[in-house]
Amino acid sequence: MSDARVTIQRDSEREERVVTTGTTAAALFEGERSVVAVRVGGALKDLAYQPGDGEEVEPVEITSEDGLNILRHSTAHVLAQAVQELFPEAKLGIGPPVKDGFYYDFDVAEPFTPDDLKRIEKKMQQIQKQGQRFSRRVTTDEDAREELADEPYKLELIGLKGNAASAADGASAEVGSGELTLYDNLDAKSGELCWKDLCRGPHLPSTRLIPAFKLMRSAAAYWRGSEKNPQLQRIYGTAWPTKDELKQYLEFLAEAEKRDHRKLGTELDLFSIPEELGSGLAVFHPKGGVVRKVMEDYSRKRHEESGYEFVNTPHITKERLFEISGHLPHYEDGMFPPLEFDEQNYRLKAMNCPMHNLIFRARGRSYRELPLRLFEFGTVYRYEKSGVVHGLTRARGFTQDDSHIYCTKEQMPDELDNLLTFVLNLLRDYGLSDFYLELSTRDPESDKFLGTDEEWEEATEALRQAAGKQGLDLVMDPGGAAFYGPKISVQARDAIGRTWQMSTIQVDFQQPQRFGLEYTAADGSRRQPVMIHRALFGSIERFFAVLLEHYAGAFPAWLAPVQAVGIPIGDDHVPYLAQFAAAAKAEGLRMEVDSSSDRMQKKIRNAQKSKVPFMVIAGDEDVAAGAVSFRYRDGSQKNGIPQDEALREIADAVERRVQV
């Protein structure tokens, strides 16, 4: 037998080995249980792969991103096998890994019930314990069609092989663009076929190497994401390298569920999304209106201090405006259909920037006016598909805190520096502090982007330079730019570690050109300004939801709809607390007195449920001393506080924007 020289690459370390031809990747990493696959020439391979002479092999750990995807995709296959063993008539869709888990789509006569999921999970556990081997097999289109003749969705995928469009809906996980492969699940002892699926892999060597998994829920889903296709049943699950990690993830989900802004919005009487209005269209109740007003007022104050000028624009416009801006040909799917009257098409406003361009263009502009910073709380409307609408975080009507800055190219670097510093500091004021930056760039292979290579390079480099000065991690997002320019987005982690996209800053050379925007330079020439798009909250509704979940409804005193509630020990103490509340209101504080007939302990529980920062309690001793007692949200208490001192403590917490 001949030998093969193989190089093992681990991070920066390289090791050359001489092995017998036919040696598998599994043999190269024998004893290393955390290695579940290998990467050869940039492609992922099963451990059954036999490296050739001169090939470089990189181990893939189960804890890596690729390793987790392989684990979860393998678990999806076990799910599909379990479903077909319990529901023999079920037809297979697709089953790719997704963030933190996996799913598989099935065509079944009836939707899955919670009891069905329990049965399926038990069957999956049996398959896992059997240690069935995942075995890759190359096949032809003709043979695959014959073997999968009873699987109509798989037959459709075979016809998509090599079609780039398939990548968008998960089909690429099944067929890829190269040779067609099937994966057989083989009995560990006899080697007999237990089940098979169309898949490009790779997979774990055995089902026994699936350490921990759980099925989460089922939902309806259209085949390949199109409403024109049949509706299938999708089962979601999660899988992790250890049982402890699965437990931690489930605890994280439980905490996230407690913090769900939709749940808290109802419990705290902040907002609702009435059926009569429609999905993605929220109304804010008085308490939610207070929080929103405080958010807006503070933002407005900071913008005024930084030289912004406030504008207002209408909610509807002639369709032609969005043709000029380029949004209609590039973003029409995200806009509501046109409204026709006066023999013209009108559109609900989906973005504010074209209207701000009209304000700039309304009269001649001099270089002395630049940078010109326009700011608007502008309500926009976007046609989000019903399947992606999610409370306030993905809505159809929302208000952007939208700014557009017009400056010279010479001013652009400093303006970007100042903008990024401004938005980061303002986000910190609202209580977010853990950030990284993402730079979204153009895909040079796509034709959706406007402008020249030189313009994109200049705009991208300007943003890169500004990002580098913040001392934060910078993550690249190739192809994620808007059609008119690259962008930096501020990614913020909340109290339980979830990442939210917050502020965005985009450099745009295209819209000033399309709208013919000009200013008179110092030498009298006419020049085109640079346009910088900037949304700080993204949308007020979404930012409201993020803060609500970040604080689990317990807003810091400055944002809380009710900052203090007076709780009398007896009815005789109500007038005393009403006097204290009047003094608090005179100081600009938001205080109420609970004068209901409930017992004191019930009033305390109500205040705790409402997550009020300060409970101000008064009884005979407090009245006699001209004092009050504080009970805080954490259950601690401080007694006998003189009224003036108590007012100062509440006011100080509000002024310093601290959590109490």
The residue from 353, 407, 411, 611 that is catalytic is 353
Q: Are residues 375 and 513 in the same domain?
A: yes
187 within some domain: yes
Residue 199 annotated to the active site: no
The residue from 200, 214, 533, 542 that is catalytic is 533
Give the closest residue to 348 by CA, choosing from 323, 375, 316, 320.
Answer: 316
46 within some domain: yes
Model pTM score: 0.85
Domain boundary, last residue among 61, 76, 110 = 61
Q: Is residue 2 a contact partner of residue 52, using CB atoms and an 8 Å limit?
A: no
The residue from 123, 303, 373, 404 that is catalytic is 404
Q: Is residue 271 a contact partner of residue 397, using CB atoms and an 8 Å limit?
A: no
What's 293's domain CATH number? 3.30.930.10
96 within some domain: yes
pLDDT in tens, 390-436: 999 999 999 999 999 999 999 999 999 999 999 999 999 999 999 99
Return the pLDDT at 165.
43
Q: Are residues 320 and 171 in the same domain?
A: no
Q: Are residues 340 and 226 in the same domain?
A: no
Residue 550 annotated to the active site: no
Residue 300 annotated to the active site: no
Return the pLDDT at 479.
86
What's 8's domain CATH number? 3.10.20.90
Q: Are residues 145 and 98 in the same domain?
A: yes
Q: Are residues 139 and 232 in the same domain?
A: yes
Averages of pLDDT over runs of 10 residues in the chain (660 residues) are 84 87 92 94 93 92 96 98 97 95 97 97 97 95 94 93 50 65 94 95 96 96 90 97 97 95 97 94 97 96 95 96 90 90 92 96 96 96 88 94 95 94 94 94 80 87 92 90 88 94 91 95 95 91 96 96 96 94 96 94 94 95 94 92 96 92
Residue 533 annotated to the active site: yes
266 within some domain: no
Residue 487 annotated to the active site: yes
Q: Are residues 506 and 579 in the same domain?
A: no
**What does 491-534 look like in DSSP terms, one character per residue?**
EEE-TTS-EEEEEEEEEESHHHHHTT--EE-TTS-EEPPEEEEE
Domain holding 135, by residue range, is 65-256
What's 130's domain CATH number? 3.30.980.10
Q: Are residues 382 and 486 in the same domain?
A: yes
The residue from 402, 494, 508, 622 that is catalytic is 402
Name the pairing type of β-strands 614-618 and 564-568.
parallel
What's 650's domain CATH number? 3.40.50.800
Return the pLDDT at 175.
62
Domain boundary, last residue among 505, 520, 550 = 550
Domain boundary, last residue among 550, 573, 594 = 550
Q: Tokens 């919670």 — which residue?
A: 114
636 within some domain: yes
Is 407 annotated as a binding-site member?
A: no
How many whole angstroms separate alpha carbon 574 and alpha carbon 329?
A: 64
Query: How many domains in the chain?
Result: 4
262 within some domain: no
b/e map 586-623, b = 16+ CB within 10 Å: eeebbbbbbbeeeeeeebbebbeebbbbbbbbbbeebb
Is 573 annotated as a binding-site member?
A: no
What does DSSP assign to residue 182?
A: E
Is 199 annotated as a binding-site member?
A: no
The residue from 132, 400, 511, 563 that is catalytic is 400
Q: Are residues 54 and 118 in the same domain?
A: no
Can you say whether the dihedral through the CA atoms of 260, 264, 270, 273 is positive or negative?
positive
Q: Are residues 54 and 69 in the same domain?
A: no
Q: Are residues 46 and 177 in the same domain?
A: no
Residue 404 annotated to the active site: yes
Q: Which helix (H) or strand (E) holds 58?
A: strand 56-61
Give the closest residue to 616 by CA, choosing from 584, 655, 654.
Answer: 584
364 within some domain: yes
The residue from 161, 234, 487, 542 that is catalytic is 487
Q: Are residues 47 and 80 in the same domain?
A: no
The residue from 365, 382, 442, 573 that is catalytic is 382
Q: Are residues 47 and 152 in the same domain?
A: no
271 within some domain: no
Residue 602 annotated to the active site: no
Cα dihedral 139, 142, 147, 148, rounded to 10, equals 110
